[in-house]
Amino acid sequence: MTKEQAIQIHDSGVWREWTDRQRAEFQLSEDLLCMPFDVFHESVEKALGRPVWTHEFGLNRDGLISELLGDKPAPTFEQIMEMIPAEKRIILIA
């Protein structure tokens, strides 16, 4: 998909008519964002039935697709945190 095509899909608003699962499947398969990120993020969470951390989109896109298609279970919290490179990981426990 070209940048212009992604903008056209965004501007057409066609994604507003799609279900959360349709938005999640479509956008996870495209490199260019075709809808507002907050809409995409919420749709993926609803389609998967769990919170999805922002870094998962960049570091575990294939895993999200596999999970959505039912080929792979949801990762544990520990697995989600381990996706972040150790040198960039700072976790505070209050």
Model confidence at 63: pLDDT above 90: yes
pLDDT digits (tens, 9 = 90+) for 13-55: 999 999 999 999 999 999 999 999 999 999 999 999 999 999 9
With a CB cutoff of 8 Å and minimum separation 6, the contacts of 69 are none
Tens of pLDDT along 74-94?
999 999 999 999 898 887 787
The reported pLDDT for the residue numbered 94 is: 79
pLDDT at 54: 95
Q: Which residues contact 39 (CB under 8 A, 6 or more apart)?
A: 15, 23
